[in-house]
Structure 1
């Protein structure tokens, strides 16, 4: 009964990770289900199964699993030493008039979500390890993983065949996948299954219906995954990653069947190494670039600037999207920047962590290959882990798909399968001298002994702790909801109804974690003209600004929220916050976000201090220049802001327009309505404006 529940939890989690939108709710569902499964293992698993798990999880492996979690916890922990954390916390503390503890991370919510992501992957890997301790269940798990990877690859091929937008315009993707990791992992898995089926055919000397079905299924999955890899237009990096993973599996297959022995192994491995080195010579490499983006073929201008500004400790796990608005080009969207996973890790965790991760991946691939060569019939499982580690390390330097939720869970299941079958449960293991060998003889199963008594109890406590941490993080995320990114903040200048729509967005509008990968940012719901004109703005009717301030206390790099707080404070004439300071923070945290420009100009030009504050005056001049010379589509927004501006604000715009475009100045002045009349808002509706 326990095994069935664990298999069901694995299947549902993987299906949900690929089939559901990558939202906070989807991740919470997966983490809760896996937490229950891990807790069931800790309570109901037999002592022999726990003893086997203790043998598989060596101290070195446990350290590898624990170190990232500890490092993310340190990034979240308050730093008592003044000036040791990120400077944004001191700046936000002064602007919000509250005492905020300094931290290494620049966004506590994003780091907690990254911690939950990592904990979910570790939990799934532990469950897969327990399930695959038995050889028959390991084969069932391998079949399930190959089936899932083949389905994902077939879906990717279908989308590329009929077009990236799906079967019809406006349809949402059925499966959430943008990277090549599922196809590459599926290719490694299916090749290993094909090798295993081929060996079984040689051993039994006859072809049964079951064997023929298995071999046909493995070949079909191999064809689908290989086609998905070759169909990508991302250059040769992904193909070389697939070749690296498959090459390791094939090398183990050749050694086990024809070239067993020290000289045979040396010749096969040397040949494979030469072929892989020859393949690496055709990789396009950026000259004088950081290792994290040297192999990228995408637009990474903002990422390159972020890497140059990154400190040794990183900016916090999951905070890449929070930093991107500061460094991206004018008018660039989140989806235009395609960093590599290595670049994101280096920015969030530091370069030292990235280099350590790559070293661990190489050492893990070598260790699993060594375990594979010590096995007999079941060597393919450890070879799968070795090939997957090498392929994912290469993919990390090429694209960002490794960090996707579904891809990371699939990789966790693959490594759990490899670790579970990396060694036999026998007292001694002998290596035969013949190339064709008999299958593994059934040895004694892991039995609880006094030696493992303490280890078994510690393992159960550890599994229970993992489950508790996952549940606690899920509760924390739902107890502290965050404002989604990408909301139409410019609609605040239109009307009270638009402001309410912004402050209380529908749950289905956008992702809460602000994922940057293409196709993952759904468009926010825009208020219609009728809704915008439904009500007039009234002083004191706005939602409480402290709600926005509390969100900024967790995410101080949200330029849209700084602007939102400035707009609400100005309209309500609140003395709690300094509007010019809030405006400056909006400029500094999102300097090139054109979606914020209309409202930002409206609020800034309505401020009496805009002419007397040289810093704010320079920032406003930059926005006006962008609207006049670089983005002609923003001229109506500039006109609307000019019409609702103060006398000093209008004088500032007059001076700037007179320098660049005198005809535009005359046109702008002619459109100023008489006092007491409604002025048009940026979206074409009429209202009193935000600044009066």
Structure 2
């Protein structure tokens, strides 16, 4: 009964992760289901099963699983030593007039979400290991995973066939998958199922209905997964990753059936290595770029700049999206930047962490392949883990799919299956009986149970560990259900909507602040633009809400701008509007959706003319609106008409430098000179891509 519940929890978690978008509610649901499953495992699992689980989870493996969680905790922890944290915390502390402790992460909420993601993945891997300790259950789990990957691959094919997501505007996507990881892992699983079915066919010497059904199902799943891989734009890259994973499974199959022995193993592995290296030469490699993005098929200019500024300790798990607005090009939408998983890990966790992770993936693949070759039967499960580790290591250099929630849960289930069947149960089955036998000592007539004490300690330690994981998951679930966003960030969505409504000459439907886009639309006339001066709403507590949110996410350029606008509107003496504007420029220098309101606030601020740094930043926005983005000229008109005398003088001087006649024309019709002026690069704050 318990095993059935665990399998149901595993299936529900993976299905929810793939079917629902990556929102806090979906992660909370998966975390709740897995927390109950882990707690049930800790309480109701038999002692023999716990002993077998402890035998599989050796101390070295436990250390490897715990270290990332410890490192993410250190990224979240305040650093008492001045100068060791990210410089943005010191800058935000000065701008908000509140003491903020330095941290390695630049976004507390994003790193907390990453910690939840990792904890959920580890919990599912443990549940899969417990389920797969039994051979029959391991086969059922393999069939279930093949079914999941086949369905996901079929959905991906449909989405490719109908174009994009195949949905009308405003509909939700059917499948929250953008990478090739499910298809690649599904191909590895299908190859393992085919290998197992062929072996059963050879032993039975006849093709039964059950065996024919298994072969047909595995072939269909393999065809769907292969089609989903080849239908992608980067099909060559992902196909080679799939070839590596499938090649390891087929190599283990060939060795076990035809080439057993040291020389047979060497010949098969050498042949597989030569074939893979030959296929690897077909990969298109980008020259003169960082190795973490050299195999990517996308243009990753912003990611390359982020890699150059990244520190060795990283910027915090899950903070790639927070850093992107600082480094992206003018007006570039956030959705176009798809980094590789290796690049994202190097930016968020540091390059040393990435190198150690890749090395562990290679060593893990080799260890699981060794375990597979040491077993005469049921070797395909360990081969699955070996092939998956090798394929994922290569995919990390191609795309970011392995960091998605559904793909990571699927990979965790595969590794749990591989670890559970990596050893024979012969030695493990004898463990309880050997541990509980009575031992009579010569000097003590009463029998003792010394081995039982050691066995009991290991049993209790494993149960306590599982219970601790369950408690952590329950706590995270309660926090997510009570407050879907991190403390201080939930009211931010309303603030962003208010900011969007406040944009002069940009109605609600024309600009997408969340996506960082400002779609061109029919622009109002000068008089209409002048009438659309921003009326910032919000009560006296609104600045406090924004300030609290910025204490958790100090790289939010939209929130810095909103706080500056509210402070100027309410004539608040708590904050320096010029300092807030600078941080808005530094944390989102090229976000065109912020430019209209930022110009309005900046040109109306009397301190603009007295601060050379802020003056240069404002001049850059004026140049963009005049020469590079004609759709933003009405916004400049509205900002100019509501500007202070110093602000108008700043715009007048800037335009007169290009064309004195254009100044007179602008005063009449607010017309700009023809494009052609080169824009200076954005003022980027020093120090690891964050503001100082």
* TM-score grouping bracket, smaller chain normalisation: 0.7 to 0.9
Q: Partners in 1 of 2:538 and 2:281 — Cα distance?
A: 66
Whether 1:156 and 2:152 are equivalent positions in the alignment is no
1:104 corresponds to which residue?
Answer: 104
Please list the CA deviations of residues 23-82 of structure 1 after superposition, one character each: whole Å capped at 9, or x if unmatched: 111111111211111111111111111111100001111011001001111111111111
Q: Partners in 1 of 2:583 and 2:188 — Cα distance?
A: 48
Please list the CA deviations of residues 162-219 of structure 1 after superposition, one character each: whole Å capped at 9, or x if unmatched: 1114054543321111000000000000110011111111110111111111110011
Normalising by structure 1, what TM-score? 0.88
SS at match of 2:427: coil
1:493 corresponds to which residue?
Answer: 502
Alignment of 1:249-398 (within 5 A): 249-398=249-398
Q: Is the 8 A contact 1:190 1:219 kept in 2?
A: yes
Q: Partners in 1 of 2:70 and 2:139 — Cα distance?
A: 34
Q: Partners in 1 of 2:365 and 2:620 — Cα distance?
A: 52
Q: Is the 8 A contact 1:490 1:597 kept in 2?
A: no
Q: Partners in 2 of 1:385 and 1:165 — Cα distance?
A: 31
CA positional deviation for 1:294: 1.6
1:655 corresponds to which residue?
Answer: 653
Please list the CA deviations of residues 363-404 of structure 1 after superposition, one character each: whole Å capped at 9, or x if unmatched: 000000011111122000000000000000000011111111
Q: Partners in 1 of 2:337 and 2:249 — Cα distance?
A: 34
Whether 1:603 and 2:601 are equivalent positions in the alignment is yes
Q: Partners in 1 of 2:153 and 2:660 — Cα distance?
A: 58
1:566 corresponds to which residue?
Answer: 564
Alpha-carbon distance change, 173 to 446 in structure 1, aligned in 2, over 3 angstroms: farther
Alpha-carbon distance change, 284 to 344 in structure 1, aligned in 2, over 3 angstroms: same
Q: Partners in 2 of 1:596 and 1:535 — Cα distance?
A: 15
Of 281-290 and 564-573, deviating more is 281-290
Q: Partners in 1 of 2:143 and 2:54 — Cα distance?
A: 25
Alpha-carbon distance change, 32 to 541 in structure 1, aligned in 2, over 3 angstroms: same
Alpha-carbon distance change, 522 to 19 in structure 1, aligned in 2, over 3 angstroms: farther
Q: Is the 8 A contact 1:112 1:473 kept in 2?
A: no
Alignment of 1:3-18 (within 5 A): 3-18=3-18
Q: 2:545 aligns with which of 529, 538, 547?
A: 547
Of 277-286 and 81-90, deviating more is 277-286
Q: Partners in 1 of 2:422 and 2:518 — Cα distance?
A: 42
Q: Partners in 2 of 1:573 and 1:101 — Cα distance?
A: 28
Q: Is the 8 A contact 2:249 2:384 kept in 1?
A: yes
CA positional deviation for 1:223: 0.5
Q: Is the 8 A contact 1:323 1:557 kept in 2?
A: yes
CA positional deviation for 1:629: 1.0
SS at match of 2:426: coil
CA positional deviation for 1:471: 2.3
CA positional deviation for 1:540: 7.1
Q: Is the 8 A contact 1:96 1:549 kept in 2?
A: yes
Alignment of 1:420-569 (within 5 A): 420-427=420-427, 449=436, 450=452, 451-477=454-480, 478-479=482-483, 480=487, 482=489, 483=492, 487=496, 491-493=500-502, 537=535, 541=539, 544-569=542-567
Please list the CA deviations of residues 146-175 of structure 1 after superposition, one character each: whole Å capped at 9, or x if unmatched: 000000001111111111140545433211
Alpha-carbon distance change, 92 to 534 in structure 1, aligned in 2, over 3 angstroms: closer
CA positional deviation for 1:470: 1.9
Q: Partners in 2 of 1:27 and 1:415 — Cα distance?
A: 21
SS at match of 1:634: helix
Q: Partners in 2 of 1:206 and 1:388 — Cα distance?
A: 31
CA positional deviation for 1:342: 0.1
1:676 corresponds to which residue?
Answer: none
Q: Partners in 2 of 1:535 and 1:285 — Cα distance?
A: 50
Q: Partners in 1 of 2:532 and 2:311 — Cα distance?
A: 49
Whether 1:580 and 2:564 are equivalent positions in the alignment is no
Q: Is the 8 A contact 2:187 2:221 kept in 1?
A: yes
Q: Partners in 2 of 1:187 and 1:67 — Cα distance?
A: 30
Q: Partners in 1 of 2:349 and 2:565 — Cα distance?
A: 34
Q: Partners in 2 of 1:485 and 1:344 — Cα distance?
A: 29
Q: Partners in 2 of 1:406 and 1:138 — Cα distance?
A: 21
Q: Partners in 2 of 1:626 and 1:618 — Cα distance?
A: 13
Q: Partners in 2 of 1:494 and 1:287 — Cα distance?
A: 42
Please list the CA deviations of residues 285-320 of structure 1 after superposition, one character each: whole Å capped at 9, or x if unmatched: 222322211211211111111111111101110011
SS at match of 1:206: coil
Q: Is the 8 A contact 2:488 2:552 kept in 1?
A: no
Q: 2:630 aligns with which of 632, 642, 645?
A: 632
1:114 corresponds to which residue?
Answer: 114
Q: Is the 8 A contact 1:489 1:560 kept in 2?
A: no
Alpha-carbon distance change, 20 to 481 in structure 1, aligned in 2, over 3 angstroms: farther
Structure 2 residue ranges without an equivalent (≥5): 437-451, 520-530, 671-692
SS at match of 1:610: coil
SS at match of 1:427: helix
1:147 corresponds to which residue?
Answer: 147
Q: Is the 8 A contact 1:318 1:348 kept in 2?
A: yes
SS at match of 2:214: helix
Of 467-476 and 172-181, deviating more is 467-476
1:439 corresponds to which residue?
Answer: none
Whether 1:192 and 2:201 are equivalent positions in the alignment is no
CA positional deviation for 1:536: 9.5
SS at match of 2:150: helix
Of 31-40 and 587-596, deviating more is 31-40
Structure 1 residue ranges without an equivalent (≥5): 429-442, 502-508, 524-532, 673-692
CA positional deviation for 1:8: 1.2
Q: Partners in 1 of 2:170 and 2:106 — Cα distance?
A: 35
1:685 corresponds to which residue?
Answer: none
Q: Partners in 1 of 2:322 and 2:80 — Cα distance?
A: 24
Q: Is the 8 A contact 2:237 2:398 kept in 1?
A: yes
Of 163-172 and 31-40, deviating more is 163-172
SS at match of 2:607: helix
1:669 corresponds to which residue?
Answer: 667
Q: Partners in 1 of 2:377 and 2:277 — Cα distance?
A: 30
CA positional deviation for 1:660: 2.9
Normalising by structure 2, what TM-score? 0.88
Q: Partners in 2 of 1:306 and 1:661 — Cα distance?
A: 38
Q: Is the 8 A contact 2:93 2:100 kept in 1?
A: yes
Whether 1:76 and 2:76 are equivalent positions in the alignment is yes
CA positional deviation for 1:277: 1.3
Q: Partners in 1 of 2:330 and 2:139 — Cα distance?
A: 52
Alpha-carbon distance change, 41 to 226 in structure 1, aligned in 2, over 3 angstroms: same
Q: Is the 8 A contact 1:106 1:555 kept in 2?
A: yes
Q: Partners in 2 of 1:250 and 1:156 — Cα distance?
A: 26
Q: Partners in 2 of 1:410 and 1:389 — Cα distance?
A: 12
Q: Partners in 2 of 1:187 and 1:540 — Cα distance?
A: 54
Q: Partners in 1 of 2:479 and 2:98 — Cα distance?
A: 22
Q: Partners in 2 of 1:595 and 1:238 — Cα distance?
A: 35
Q: Partners in 1 of 2:71 and 2:495 — Cα distance?
A: 29
The number of equivalent residue pairs is 636
Alpha-carbon distance change, 407 to 274 in structure 1, aligned in 2, over 3 angstroms: same
Q: Partners in 1 of 2:155 and 2:664 — Cα distance?
A: 57
Q: Is the 8 A contact 1:192 1:249 kept in 2?
A: yes
SS at match of 1:259: coil
Q: Is the 8 A contact 2:236 2:283 kept in 1?
A: yes
Alpha-carbon distance change, 664 to 376 in structure 1, aligned in 2, over 3 angstroms: farther
